[in-house]
Amino acid sequence: MVSISAPLSFDDYVILLNPADGVGIAKQPIPAEAILQLPDGSPLRVHETIPPGHKLSLAAIRAGESIYRYGYPIGQATADIPAGNWVHTHNLDLGTLSADHAVRVVEPLAGVPSARTFLGYPRPDGKVGTRNYLALISTVNCSAHVVSQIARAFPPERLRQYENVDGVIPILHHSGCSMAPGGASYRYLKRVLNNLGSHPNIAAAVWVGLGCEVMQVGECSPLYTADEFEGSTPRRMVIQEQGGFQKTVEAGIELIESLLPQVNAVRREPQPLSKLVAALQCGGSDGWSGVTANPLVGRIADSLAAEGGTAILAETPEIYGAEQLLLQRVTSVEVANKLNERVRWWSKEARQRGFSLNNNPTPGNKQGGLTTIAEKSLGAVAKGGNSPLTAVYEYGEIADQPGLVFMDTPGNDPMSITGQLAGGSNLILFTTGRGSVFGSTLAPCVKIASSQDLYERMVDDMDFNAGQLLHGTTWEVASQELLELILAVASGQRTHSERHGLSENEFVPWQPDAVL
């Protein structure tokens, strides 16, 4: 029980993210009627209980005035807010954001590899896998059950003799038909399924279709030369041509058996950090995500960029209101134009469909302390660190530029990560404040908790505790610890989500068009 008879230490209860901010963030619950001793020594009476991760007005704010976090506006006050009051959705709204942002072109980083390495699987095209999978890829939802059944015939005990095979994985989705050929949904799905053929974590792949669907197997699976795998058999299967469900399952099992020795012949070897392609993702964010976990991942992104590696930032609706932070460090005007074009597309799409991008913060986000999309976006962009932005990609395009890059995706986590995986991500750095249990079939997902409370409450799901930054751990120490964990995972250490079993339900290609 906190005694409120004596002034409370500001540093023990509040974080001020920027001296220009008129609000502080509660580190722990601040009881109503408590007296805070401000940094200048003056007292501040707190008029209502402030939950942890939520905002406290440090000075009076008049209705219509901008409210700042990280030194940037996150919206306007909708009423007069006395000093010492809770600042949240009841008295803060997005208002109008400026669409005109200055562009600053900077020199790209010249990635310089260090002596640091990880143990990865080398591929003929120069990419490196963090896992060595044999993948069964469903081209339409009608073949999803066949794909699952073939994969289930190869549990860990059956693969024990193949020590270098990390698994036979099913990749399935719930689309592939009832779509307009050539439309956005068709293009995105075709691109995603095709690009899996060169994914660094897949040593060999088999595409499985039904036969009568819009997304034909031959349209979305790469062509292979006969000598890529000595004595290989065709790696496309069509259920209607095979003679039905059971015959396709049996033929698929036989095909996988023939490929396993060849996949097992690939071994882990020391690899430079430049071969890491990290998907940067946040989900179930809270008020601490942009204070601890996201900036910490931003430091990792900077480290990878400095080594010549790649970090893929995504979720276009969740950079809305913070895109200026990226436009201030692009490597060309063309990169800035591509980013602005995608933000404009989302704004137009929102208007046409009758919703606002400010609807993005979820109820859970708001319970965790977030209010407007600008506040959420400023914290989300922190995952990108401070490196120059070298490229902007459409959904699922292969990320072939080193450094920090951006991919246009929805804010939905599985949908966004699917695009990043199609782009070549061989691992995922996933920050969460409320708690996410996302687990990818295709790449290890490192879960990073924004607070000590979340880490302890969901210890079987969280891989790293960024909340230690609120309790005395330095940024340098936390960054080094997280990098060591990432290299261990890239070298084969299993994440919590992998230990729970690879999910068959979280590969979700973006399908923006109407279903016919």
Could you tell me the CATH number of the domain that includes residue 55?
2.30.130.110
* Residue 223 banded pLDDT, cuts 50, 70, 90: low
SS3 at position 443:
coil
432 found inside a domain? yes
Query: How far apart, in Å, are the Cα atoms of 166 and each of 151, 260, 266?
Result: 13, 11, 11
456 found inside a domain? yes
**What pLDDT score was predicted for residue 84?**
95
Residues 448 and 332 in one domain: yes
**What pLDDT score was predicted for residue 97?**
67
Residues 280 and 259 in one domain: no
Identity at 53, one-letter amino acid code: G
- The total of structural domains in the chain comes to 3
Q: Which helix (H) or strand (E) holds 313?
A: strand 310-313
Give 8-55 pLDDT, tens digit per residue: 999 999 999 988 899 999 999 999 999 999 988 899 999 999 999 999
* Residue 297 banded pLDDT, cuts 50, 70, 90: very high
How many Cβ atoms sit within 10 Å of the Cβ of residue 218?
11
Q: Does the pTM exceed 0.85?
A: yes
**What pLDDT score was predicted for residue 227?**
44
Residues 290 and 393 in one domain: yes
Q: Which one of 265, 292, 314 terminates a domain?
A: 265
Closest CA to 372 of 66, 159, 150: 66
Residues 401 and 280 in one domain: yes
Neighbouring residues of 416: CB distance < 8 A, sequence distance ≥ 6? 281, 314, 315, 409, 410
Residues 291 and 427 in one domain: yes
Give 109-122 pLDDT, tens digit per residue: 988 989 999 999 99
DSSP string across 133-188: EEEEEESSGGGHHHHHHHHHTS-TTTTTT-TT--EEEEE--S-SSSS-TTSHHHHH
117 found inside a domain? no
Closest CA to 170 of 200, 214, 217, 206: 206
The lowest-confidence range among 15-24, 142-151, 276-285 is: 15-24
Domain boundaries, position 53: 8-93
Cβ density class 373-389: b for 16+ within 10 Å, e for less: bbbbbbbbbbbbbebbb
DSSP string across 71-126: TEEEEEESS-B-TT-EESTTTEE-----------B-PPP-----S-EEEEEE-TTS
